[in-house]
Amino acid sequence: MMTIVDICRPSTPFPNQPMDLCFRISPCLADPARRSSSCLKLLLLVVHLIYAGVLFLFDGDLIEKTKKEPWYTALYLLLFVVTLVQYFATSVSNPGYVLDAMMEINKKNVVHTKTPETSNQPALGKNGSFVISMEGNQTGKCVAGSNATYWSKLVAELYPPASTIRTWTCTYCNVEQPPRAKHCHDCDKCVLQFDHHCVWLGNCIGQRNHCQFWWYLCEETAVCIWTGFMYISHLKAHITSVWWQDAIMILLLITLSICLIFLLLLLIFHRTIFRQNFNEWKNASIFQETWTIPKSNLKSII
């Protein structure tokens, strides 16, 4: 029986209506992880614009210098724009997923060994991942066992002979992981040469985009150093002009200095592990200490 309260109660709570409309316009925002990543990207963009905007708004000498030497400001703005472009390009780059590499290698092997008896049917595995199986070849035998694939054979050659397939099979994706690969719980995918999941980028750093990530760190560090230099130059010349402007710039300069310290440490750290062909995931050191990966086999996978 319907009461007066039921009639007066709205079918959909009013506060949820704007959010529902936003989710219909941008379905990606319905995912909390992607929504958080989008907010961080927007925050980083706004911070960059604030630092550049305050500099050009308060520093009148910079405007005069731009009129006399436009190349100086043009180089700074070029580096500023390139850094932002590199940031967004890295955030959407492919870190190198194990599933994609597995499907590509199995597909190439099917092309080389294709016969009327060859079958390449993708089967749906655990958590929606695809497990590609091949049955038969020119001699009527399997490549590496009854249910094995060419990918399984390549991965097995990268591990010590005493290890079993259970030791390198991902329990989430149900795929065989090469050494240094790891499942990312944020992206819900296995990544080749997994380094870390960057919350500021909203993306994993792996085999394919580690170099691109390092170059972004270089550009971001250069922008911070150049911006800090111009802030210090302005404060030296106009430290007693307008106190509230100086207070804002000093506060921004302190924040920039802290960020610059972390950027320099991160840049040096990734430069070191990049030269040593290592990553942040320390569990990979087990295989580096006990087993030497054949370079020919490793190149065939990555």
176-229 confidence digits (pLDDT tens): 888 889 999 888 899 998 989 998 899 999 989 998 999 999 999 999 999 999
Tens of pLDDT along 226-247? 999 999 988 888 776 778 888 9
142 belongs to the catalytic site: no
DSSP string over 77-136: HHHHHHHHHHHHHHHTS---BHHHHHHHHHHHHHHHT--TT--EEEEE-GGG-EEEEE--
0.75 exceeded by pTM: no
Q: What is the pLDDT of residues 252-298, one digit of tens each?
A: 999 999 999 999 998 888 888 767 665 554 434 434 433 344 444 44
Higher pLDDT among residues 211 and 126, named by residue? 211
User: Among 198, 204, 211, 224, which one carries the catalytic annotation?
Assistant: 198
